[in-house]
Amino acid sequence: MVKQVSSLGRNGVHDFILIRASAIIMTLYTIYVISFCAFTDISYTTWTQFFDSGFTKIFTMVTLACIMIHAWIGIWQVLTDYVKPALLRSVVQLAVVVVLFGYFFSGLFILWGA
């Protein structure tokens, strides 16, 4: 069995489960935010109170991590299928990882005010 170092999961089944689990969490988060927007008079005060709640902050960070996992597995699969030169694929993968971690830490600093 060939192991891919750049793959997030240990194998295809693990990647499949990660994709499905992250999709479920992202769907639940979307429902959570849409229900807040649909049933609340939105103002600056209510919006900041919503995102000041510990549950919302943690749920947002978990969802952001799920977006990273979901995006990485999908992009990794596309790159390994369609970008054949190893050096080019590695450079693009590195760029994607840097961007994804940039998104994660941006969300972290925005939510937790570091």
Q: Which residues are annotated as a binding site?
A: 70, 82
From the annotation, which residues make up the binding site for a ubiquinone? 82
CA dihedral 40, 43, 46, 49 (to 10 degrees): 150
Number of Cβ atoms within 10 Å of the Cβ of 15: 19
Give binding residues for heme as ranges: 70
Half-sphere exposure of residue 50: CA atoms within 13 angstroms, side-chain side: 16
- Residue 107: which of 59, 75, 71 has the closest Cα? 59
Nearest C-alpha neighbor of 63 from the set 95, 97, 31: 31
